[in-house]
Amino acid sequence: MRILFIGDVVGDKGVSMIGDYLPKLKQQVKPQVTIVNGENATSMGRGITQSIYKQLMSDGVDVVTLGNHAWSNNEILDFIDDAKRLIRPYNFPRRTTPGKGYTMVNVNGKQLAVLNFQGRVFMDNLDDPFALADELVDEIRKTTNCIFMDFHAEATSEKLAMARYLDGRISAVVGTHTHVQTNDARILAGKTAFLTDVGMTGPADGMLGMQPDSVIHRFLNQRPARFKVMETGRSIISGCFIDIDDKTGHATHIETVSMTDDQF
């Protein structure tokens, strides 16, 4: 089983990169499942709309994950419960939060569980992702041992801690949120694939997808600034692909991909 995971889609450029270049990337990588983090997919760079979700699915995405900006566009409250392949972090308060934190995908007769969790270091103090991952993974492993997690977190230490904690119990832990692809793709001792951050898809010449001037001014004067999505220049698509033994659930290979639109 081969999974292709594409990192945080940012703004209109990010959505366009999925439509224009995901089919070409899939021809090269040949995945059975394609997962995309879409929590920054609106033109404002925060949240997702129903039309964008449907566009991503029509462009060949199988599952869309979210993160701390899941609720930044109120429209999501109207459709997330009906969007079968749109998941938000599992560790939002479960009694009061709409949507779901994981989904199951049939891959040639084998079930793949796709999980979404959010970290707590330098982020909102959600429910304990480690304790809840314990419970959820134990339950899912009664059905399948092929389990992929998008861990949306700020701190590199927390991302690695989650991977080490679940090593041998799930197939892969891949980080999102910081938008910079890291150079540490590896398979841990228990055969769980890990990557600290998969990177972003969208404006290549901005700062994490945003216009540089407003970000720089924030550092210079320490005053609040409205960050706007970069709308000019090159675009980039970043991700990784992971091979999983569908009998054991063990990862056998992980490799990053990152290309700008002028490299295709």
pLDDT digit string (tens) for 148-192? 999 999 999 999 999 999 999 999 999 999 999 999 999 999 999
203, containing H or E segment: strand 200-203
Q: How many domains does the chain have?
A: 1
For the chain, the C-alpha Rg in angstroms (whole number) is 17
Angstrom CA distances, 249 to 80, 116, 141, 184, stand at 29, 18, 10, 21
pLDDT at position 224, please? 82
Closest CA to 175 of 147, 151, 148: 151
User: How confident is the model over 85-101, as pLDDT tens digits?
Assistant: 999 999 999 889 999 99
CA dihedral 245, 250, 252, 256 (to 10 degrees): 110
pLDDT at position 94, please? 86
- Flag whether pLDDT at 66 surpasses 80: yes
Full-model pTM: 0.95
Closest CA to 140 of 170, 175, 181: 170
**Active site residue ranges:** 69
- For residue 75, the enclosing domain spans 2-260
Query: What CATH number should be reported for the domain holding residue 153?
Result: 3.60.21.10
What percent of the chain has a predicted confidence (pLDDT) above 90?
88
